[in-house]
Structure 1
Amino acid sequence: MDSERKAELRKKFKVFSAIFKLILFLGIIVGIPLYLYFFQKDLIHSFSSMENVRALFAQYKAQSVLFYILAQVMQIVICVIPGQWLQFTAGYMWGFWLGYLYSLIGALIGSVLTYYIARILGHDAMHLIFGEEKIKKWLVHLNSKKAVIIVFFIFLIPGVPKDLCNYVAGLSEIKLKPFLIVSLIGRSPGMMGSLLIGRQIGTGGYVSAGIIAGVAVVLCVLCVIFRKRFTGLLNKGYDKLMKM
């Protein structure tokens, strides 16, 4: 009887723990963004243009690099915050290479955080809500070659809401290392384009900034047109990637 009672208590605790984690998870990915959108509009406005971001950075001159990295992390974790103007400003303030380094560090930290937030807080809850068998079927699709290729293109194409992918990856069984490689490589072209545009604006090269933006659009279109070739290359590296 004692063993049955202990088993029942463990089961109840597991359910309670999963529900508590789910509430925390939803609070991070839904509650905080809604709170900021409705009650902290000034904060969101601070990230809504290059002038606003530069004015915000001016308040943290001595710690501007650290503040930028933290802002990049926050933008990924709380996906309602605009991120494009951050990278424009980084290119303007620090140039291409330093801006890319700081942006990459912020994206790396933000991706790791969102991945583990989903894994720690959301994984058990998904099993509780949808059932273990159904989750296993979904994971087969989430961990497939096709899914990894889709993730790559989501991160590659500008304007696509990509940061929620970090949470989806955390809910799946995909390993952190291959996910980071795919997502950071996918992020890099858009990130580099934004940094270059910011750098050109900083040096007064508005025409050059426009040309870079045009080239970025053309490259994205070419990636879509020749997606089968890219898919072939990704397929070749998939098995090696998943072993990492």
Structure 2
Amino acid sequence: MMSPNECTATSVSPVGDNTDPRTVASRKPMLAAMIVGALILAATVVLGPSLWTFFSNGGAVRTWVDSQGVLAPAAMAALVVAQIVVAILPGEPVELAAGYLFGFFEGTVICLVGGLIGTLGVTVLVKVFGLRAVRTFFSEEQLASISWLRDSKRFELIMLIVFLIPGTPKDVLTYAAGLTACPWWRIAAIGTVGRIPSIVTSTLAAGFASEGSWVAAGITLIATGIIVAGGAVAYRALSQRAAR
């Protein structure tokens, strides 16, 4: 584990004016990330309403992915990545579509791979653009609501616990994590492992539905709803306790 003070919030420093060739070469990946990030942010502004409509419609998601043929798994993973990076998009219809089209096991793997790539993408965006990237998707009130977690001396442990609780604000936590000094690979690991319960419940229910096992699908959804409700209560209690 990291030392208590290693994962506290930090500011993103601007790149200096060093003209050393090695410094210039090291800026190339950052420049590429900035270009990709700018394109993503621009696309979000221009296509925001239509993207929301598409991602909110599980049937549309399934139809589009299924039409990609042999590339369907990659297309599904790409949607998961997009949903995490463009944090305002709903994730539940995408996870349900993955379970319905590919079954529980393959759908879960696809969502986890997409989740890993998406978390890495978010971390890069935040490391490069800082608060500008975070404020593109979240209000000051939303950021203030998780300040207790971001500033915690036990950031990694608390973030993992919060991620494991279904119904917690994982998207804003993913972006906030990029503002800390935690290494990118630890953020990616926590974000990926922490999404497992949420993904599993979605793909399991959808997998049952695709097989016509409606009773099992209904039981899974009811159990998921109970877990989400309990998770919301637990998260509220945890945040209130930490804010004291």
- Say whether 1:33 aligns with 2:41: no
* CA shift for structure 1 position 141: 6.9
**Structure 2 counterpart of 1:64, from 61, 68, 72:** 72
**Superposed CA offset, 1:189-211 (max 9, x none):** 11000001110110112221121
Q: Which has the higher helix share?
A: 1
Q: State the AA in 2 paired with 1:217.
A: G
C-alpha change, 1:178 and 1:202, in structure 2 (3 Å) is: same
The amino acid of 1:175's aligned partner reads: P
Identity of aligned residues (%): 26
Q: Secondary structure at the match of 2:195?
A: helix
Where does the alignment leave 5 or more consecutive residues of structure 1 unmatched? Answer: 1-8, 12-19, 127-138, 231-244
8 A Cα contact 1:118 1:171, kept in partner: yes
1:86 equivalent in alignment to 2:94: yes
Alignment match of 2:197 (pick from 189, 194, 214): 189
Cα distance per residue 1:84-142 (max 9 Å; x no partner): 1111111111111111111110000000111011112227999xxxxxxxxxxxx9973
Structure 2 gaps of 5+ residues are: 1-15, 19-30, 135-146, 239-244
Alignment partner of 1:205 is 2:213: yes
- Range that drifts further, 64-73 or 217-226: 217-226
Change (3 A) 1:120 1:226: closer
- Name the CA distance, whole Å, in 2 between partners of 1:198 and 1:125: 33
State TM-score, norm by structure 1. 0.66
Q: What letter is aligned with 2:207?
A: R
Tell me the CA shift for residue 170 of structure 1. Answer: 1.5
Higher Cα Rg: structure 1 or 2?
1
Mapped partners of 2:114, 2:179: distance in 1: 22
2:122 maps to what in 1? 114
Question: What is the letter of the counterpart of residue 34 of structure 1?
Answer: V
Residue 153 of structure 1: how far off its partner (Å): 4.6
**Closer/same/farther in 2, CA of residues 149 and 222 from structure 1, 3 Å limit:** farther
User: Normalising by the residue count of structure 2, what TM-score does the alignment of the two structures yield?
Assistant: 0.66
Matched residues in 2 for 1:154 and 1:29: separation? 27
Report the count of equivalent residues: 198
Deviations 1:60-98 (A, max 9, x none): 112101111111111111122222111111111111111
Judge conservation of contact 1:25–1:118 (CA < 8 Å) in 2. no
Greater relative contact order (CA < 8 Å, ≥ 6 in sequence): 2
Partner of 1:168: 176
Q: 1:224 to 1:114 in 2, by over 3 A?
A: closer
SS of the residue aligned with 2:191? Answer: helix
Distance 1:35-1:151 versus aligned 2 partners, 3 A rule: farther
Show CA shifts across 1:163-194 (max 9, x none).
23222211210122332232222211110000
d(CA) in 1 for partners of 2:133 and 2:206?
A: 42
